[in-house]
Chains A and B, each alone.
Chain A
Amino acid sequence: MSDVTVQVRIPTVLRPLVGGVSVVESSGATVGALFEQLERAHPGLGARLLGGDGRLHPFVNVFVGDEDVRYLQGVDTPIPDGAEVSILPAVAGG
């Protein structure tokens, strides 16, 4: 557990797992710790975000602030206190 408070933006596709809301408050000093906390609070959510190998699911993009953690330190990316984390499914444009 950590004292780092995080606002997590939940995409529509995952809102049924969090009671239908678009933002949940959670905690975690890293993306991995946050996902563990989210799984405890909302069982099933963590499994949607991580693949079997413990890495980010390829169809999930996670942003700490406005930066994709895949290009930072993945699940080890630190989260500053009060940060916003956005979870987005991979969709196309064009």
Chain B
Amino acid sequence: MAGREERAGGTPLIRLERISPRSEVAIFAKLEWYNPTGSVKDRVAEFMVEEAERQGRLRPGSRLIEPTSGNTGIALARLARLRGYRLTAVVPANISVERRRLLAGYGVEIVETPAELGSNGAIDRASSLAAGSGDVMLFQYGNEANPLAHYCGTGTEILQQLGPVDALVAGLGTGGTLMGAGRALREANPDTAVVAAEPPIGELVSGLRSIEDGYLPPVFDPAALDGRILVRTEQAVAMTRRLMNEEGLFAGISSGAAVHAALRWAERMERGTIVTVLPDAGWKYLSSGAWTDPIDQVVARLSAQLYF
């Protein structure tokens, strides 16, 4: 297959010249929308699929089933089309209309889980649907090919493009970016700070019976982080707008969140280099009005959606 298909990775790394709060702190952004389906998840999907193919778990005609809030499903959907698999995406009901239509366009069977259960509900449902069905659940939350894609890809590319850095700041969804790219960057500079940008989605996940229903992805080790910065939706939207206005970048909301957290981390540094990962572009967020409407309306719309 390799050689015929467009591959994930090899994305640009650019310096955010205008947005850094300190002239001696350089902030670089890895533009992950330059991947085949426009998100960082193409890297993860490619690694997980190819590993399962090598293991013989995936064969032509196999059905994949995956819990996802969107981007992983879209990336898997493309590979499924190209390689002759079928795909069931188990998604929280409140993913954005753009994500839903992309999945539908790729011919994905969509199973909805209650919005109030968040991604945790999709994980539980996909696991029970997969059990005993013969379907292949690659399971991004627990598949070491996920951080490995970022170790071999994202992190290694950053080292080639820029060299060792003082900090990596990235959004926390599965933990794959932070764990994998963080490990690669720390091999070059053991003092690299690995910092998560945390969306406040847990605040609105109302359907948990208790805190005990919370979820830590098996690929994510909290002890491997140096910090975790909470980014409110209004802060993420404000930074998404600044990226457009000041840097000319049409980035998605989770990119705005990551850059917001990178700027917060920059405030504590006197000098040095921060690299941040921008997971996708703005296309899938246009329905939120993020660039055009009053910010309180945008926040209200996004708060009802799952955008991470």
A→B interface (CB under 8 Å): 9, 11-14, 48-49, 57-61, 63, 66-68, 70-71, 86, 88-94
Contact = CB atoms under 8 A, between A and B. Distances in A.
Contacts of A48: 210-211
A12 B120 contact: no
Contacts, number: 118
Contacts of B232: 66
B298 interface: no
Nearest to A13: B208
Interface in B222-261: 222, 225-232
24 contacts: A13-B211, A14-B211, A58-B222, A59-B211, A59-B212, A59-B213, A59-B215, A61-B202, A63-B230, A66-B229, A66-B232, A68-B228, A70-B222, A70-B228, A89-B208, A89-B213, A91-B201, A91-B205, A92-B173, A92-B217, A93-B174, A93-B199, A94-B69, A94-B72
Interface in B53-73: 68-69, 71-72
Given A66-B231, A68-B196, 8 more contacts: A12-B204, A13-B209, A63-B230, A66-B229, A67-B229, A67-B230, A86-B230, A88-B230
B198 interface: yes
Interface in B123-177: 123, 140-141, 171-174, 176
The 9 closest A-B pairs by CB, nearest first: A59-B214, A93-B173, A93-B308, A68-B228, A12-B206, A94-B173, A90-B214, A88-B202, A94-B174
Nearest to B41: A94
Name the residue among A57, A60, A68 with the largest chain B CB count within 10 angstroms: A68
A48 to B, nearest CB: 5
B14 interface: no
B16 interface: no
A18 B158 CA distance: 46
A59 B213 CA distance: 8
A69 B222 CA distance: 12
Contacts of B198: 61, 63, 68, 88
B72 to A, nearest CB: 6
B71 A94 contact: yes
Contacts of A90: 202, 214-216
A93 B119 contact: yes
Contacts of A11: 202-205
